[in-house]
Amino acid sequence: MPAPTALPIWKIHTDILRTLQGGNRLVLVAPTGSGKTTQVPQMLLDAGVAGDKMIVVLQPRRVAARTVAARVASERGGKLGAEVGYQIRFDDHTSVGTRICFVTEGILLRWLQDDRSLSKIGAVVFDEFHERNLLSDVALALVKDLQQSQRPDLVMLVMSATLDAEPVAAYLNQCPILVSEGQSFPVEVGYLPVPDQRPFTVQAAEAVERILYEGEPGDILVFMPGRGEINGTLDALRGLRTQERVACIPLHGELEPQEQDRAFAPNSLRKVIVATNVAETSITIDGIRHVVDSGVARVARYDAERGIGTLLLEPISRASADQRKGRAGRTAPGTCHRLWTSIGHQTREERNTPEIQRSDLAEVVLLLHSLGIQEAATFDWLDKPDPQAVVRAEKLLTMLGALHEGRAELTPVGRQMLRLPMHPRYSRMVIEASQRGCVPDAALCAALVSGRDLLARLDRDDAQMKGLREMFEDSGDSDFITLMRAYDFAKENGFSFERCRSHGINAQVARQVEQTCQQILHAAQQQRLYDRDGGTTAKGDEALLRCLMAGFVDQLAKRRVPGKPECDLTEQRQGQLVRESVVQEAAFFVAGICLIRKTSVWPR
């Protein structure tokens, strides 16, 4: 391994330090792999830029925070969690002596709630800023505000591989910009000649097969939107007919740390790494010469039908596609195989839209109110959110009982909600459950709605599956109860893939639900909303239904005609209960899960 000081970023080492010793802001643009994330925090530490305070590096992704912290700790010859540490939701590897700390944005925002002046922090590095996550925009605005008021000594450094630096520098009162060119090699790009309707997991496996067949050396990186598609691709790769043996390795945020490390570890076989867009710019795996790009990613959007933030599968922008391509040309010329046509490429967006302009703002608006910022729409943002989205968020928070009606101030329940790291709907449910003694059930429901669908959609004529499904439908009160029974079934069967599939249950989702539920319970316990050792008594469904109503109070529906699916919702919306619902009788109900189809616009 070459010495880290050979990385391109070291060429502008003096400029970086000079700028930050003379001023308190800098925007730094350098290509992926130049050493921004691993080297710059060390430069700041060694030059004493943060004094005796901590350097915090914000990372949009948990996998990146963890792996990069481990890398930097090992470069400095220390143990992870000592001088160099990381903290992500539910996982804290820091100690009193930690000087460089990699954290996800949510963590910094929590620290801000506990200590408004961030008194132990000397520098905040906003890494991967081009991703323009909602929380990184929020963090940037709040830290800027803090720096201009109480903490002029606080250093702010914004880093990115592809950032359009000018607007950010302008936002930071025309702060200096440093650009490092780095080095890269040409990458030959191939498109599909015509659109291919088959699953992209299968197409990707075929592209890998072609690369292997052509015999060009080098590891292969495949981009997929998420865990399900990654596993699908790995399955398809197992069916390949190739001479060469390869090591197929998944990489995404839900793997255990040791499994994540496999992607970085040297391998005697050629590696085929199938990753989410964590490998787009956040982390660098050496040795990649070929990229296969599905061209899609899961993107956070506000789902007006469900009244909730959700992840949608969407085409990536041209800027993202170029970053992915660049991963093949870091150390030698490479190839990039795009699973879309060159005409399709032209119709893609040029850049990603900042998340603040497209996503659910309820959690952020709650946070801002807790910090005394009541005018979220006109706050000093880099890009302003849609004022309607702010109104919608405030309305929801008021209905959930987190804000005082008309006063835009946090209620005691709002303060409690703030302490739970989840969407306000779910924190409201958990708080309600703590009063009604059914926290485990409410946590399970929150876990069931916050991820992908546990139950497969049934075909109209799938009578056999319908029969099996009825096993879970032992209550006409709520579809949540059906989901809970299905989950219990999966758990009792050890999340067996076969057993689950035969009943139309997605075993992977069930496993994820288990994890999320445990995390919610852990958070509830920390906030003394629940005592794991206190013993539980069966509370019956009534208590749980009350909690669901508390969390989805804005989704109250009234059936128009008894027995018919058409209904009126709050805010003059209309909808239709899906036919799979077990709730066939109730005149009033709460549309918590994806039960409503066809809705009019909200708000009007």
What is the residue-wise DSSP string for 405-445?
Answer: TTT--B-HHHHHHHTSSS-HHHHHHHHHHHHHT-HHHHHHH
SS3 content of the chain, % helix, strand, coil (to 5): 45, 20, 40
Cα(488)–Cα(467) distance, rounded to whole angstroms?
18
Q: Are 454 and 509 in contact (CB under 8 A)?
A: yes
- Residues 301 to 360 in contact with ligand ADP, rule: CB under 6 A: none
Would you say how long the chain is, in residues? Answer: 604
Residue 130 or 132: which CB sits closer to ligand ADP?
130
Q: Which residues pair with 559 in a beta bridge?
A: 567
Q: Which of 67, 64, 46 is nearest to 55 (CA)?
A: 46
**Binding window for ligand ADP (CB under 6 A); candidates: 30-38, 96-104, 168-176, 299-307:** 30-38
Residue 37 or 335: which CB sits closer to Mg ion?
37
Nearest distance, CB of residue 284 and ligand ADP, angstroms = 4
Q: How far is CA 590 from the centre of its chain?
A: 27
In the list ligand ADP, Mg ion, none, the entry touching 323 (Cβ below 5 to 8 angstroms by class) is: none
**Binding window for ligand ADP (CB under 6 A); candidates: 28-36, 170-178, 365-373, 554-562:** 28-36
In the list ligand ADP, Mg ion, none, the entry touching 133 (Cβ below 5 to 8 angstroms by class) is: none
Residue 34 or 434: which CB sits closer to ligand ADP?
34
In degrees rounded to 5, what are phi and psi of residue 274? -110, 110
Q: Are 162 and 146 in contact (CB under 8 A)?
A: no
Element (H, E) at 166: helix 165-171
Q: Are 414 and 379 in contact (CB under 8 A)?
A: no
Q: Which of 172, 398, 205, 306 is nearest to 590 (CA)?
A: 306
Nearest distance, CB of residue 40 and Mg ion, angstroms = 9
**Binding window for ligand ADP (CB under 6 A); candidates: 32-40, 48-56, 210-218, 511-519:** 32-40
The contact pattern for ligand ADP, residues 541-580, with x = CB under 6 A and - = no contact, is: ----------------------------------------
Residue 34 or 516: which CB sits closer to ligand ADP?
34
Which is it for strands 596-597 and 574-577: parallel, antiparallel or unpaired?
Answer: antiparallel
- Calculate the alpha carbon distances from 526 to 58, 191, 533 in Å: 24, 51, 13
| Cβ atoms < 10 Å from Cβ of 573 | 23
Q: Which of 345, 282, 299, 280 is nearest to 318 (CA)?
A: 345
**Binding window for ligand ADP (CB under 6 A); candidates: 25-33, 312-320, 447-455, 532-540:** 25-33
In the list Mg ion, ligand ADP, none, the entry touching 67 (Cβ below 5 to 8 angstroms by class) is: ligand ADP
Q: Which of 282, 302, 432 is nearest to 361 (CA)?
A: 302
**Binding window for ligand ADP (CB under 6 A); candidates: 33-41, 239-247, 341-349, 591-599:** 33-41
Nearest distance, CB of residue 256 and Mg ion, angstroms = 23
36 belongs to the binding site for ligand ADP (CB under 6 A): yes
Nearest distance, CB of residue 27 and ligand ADP, angstroms = 14
Which is it for strands 556-559 and 588-590: parallel, antiparallel or unpaired?
Answer: antiparallel
In the list Mg ion, ligand ADP, none, the entry touching 35 (Cβ below 5 to 8 angstroms by class) is: ligand ADP
34 belongs to the binding site for ligand ADP (CB under 6 A): yes
Residue 286 or 405: which CB sits closer to ligand ADP?
286
**E strand residue ranges, 72-208:** 84-88, 91-93, 100-104, 121-126, 155-160, 177-179, 187-192
34 belongs to the binding site for Mg ion (CB under 5 A): no
503 belongs to the binding site for ligand ADP (CB under 6 A): no
Residue 128 or 554: which CB sits closer to Mg ion?
128
Residue 326 or 440: which CB sits closer to ligand ADP?
326
Q: Are 386 and 353 in contact (CB under 8 A)?
A: no
- Residues 64 to 123 in contact with Mg ion, rule: CB under 5 A: none
The contact pattern for ligand ADP, residues 37-56, with x = CB under 6 A and - = no contact, is: xxx-----------------
Residue 4 or 437: which CB sits closer to ligand ADP?
4
In the list ligand ADP, Mg ion, none, the entry touching 33 (Cβ below 5 to 8 angstroms by class) is: ligand ADP
By CB under 6 A, the count of residues binding ligand ADP is: 15
Exactly one of 25, 61, 71, 338 binds ligand ADP (CB under 6 A); that residue is 71
Q: Is 14 exposed, middle or buried (0-12, 13-18, 19+ CB in 10 A)?
A: exposed
Nearest distance, CB of residue 41 and Mg ion, angstroms = 11
35 belongs to the binding site for ligand ADP (CB under 6 A): yes
In degrees rounded to 5, what are phi and psi of residue 187? -125, 125
Exactly one of 7, 308, 393, 430 binds ligand ADP (CB under 6 A); that residue is 7
The contact pattern for ligand ADP, residues 235-274, with x = CB under 6 A and - = no contact, is: -----------------------------x----------
Return the DSSP state at 355. G
In the list Mg ion, ligand ADP, none, the entry touching 284 (Cβ below 5 to 8 angstroms by class) is: ligand ADP
- Calculate the alpha carbon distances from 451 to 92, 366, 425, 511, 594 in Å: 23, 22, 14, 11, 12
Q: Which of 393, 513, 395, 379 is nearest to 443 (CA)?
A: 513
37 belongs to the binding site for Mg ion (CB under 5 A): yes
67 belongs to the binding site for ligand ADP (CB under 6 A): yes
Nearest distance, CB of residue 144 and Mg ion, angstroms = 22
Region of 355 please: left (phi>0), alpha (psi -120 to 50) or beta. alpha
Cα(224)–Cα(250) distance, rounded to whole angstroms?
10
Residue 24's SS3 state is: coil
Residue 29 or 54: which CB sits closer to Mg ion?
29
Interface contacts to ligand ADP, rule CB under 6 A: 7, 30, 32-39, 67, 71, 264, 284, 286
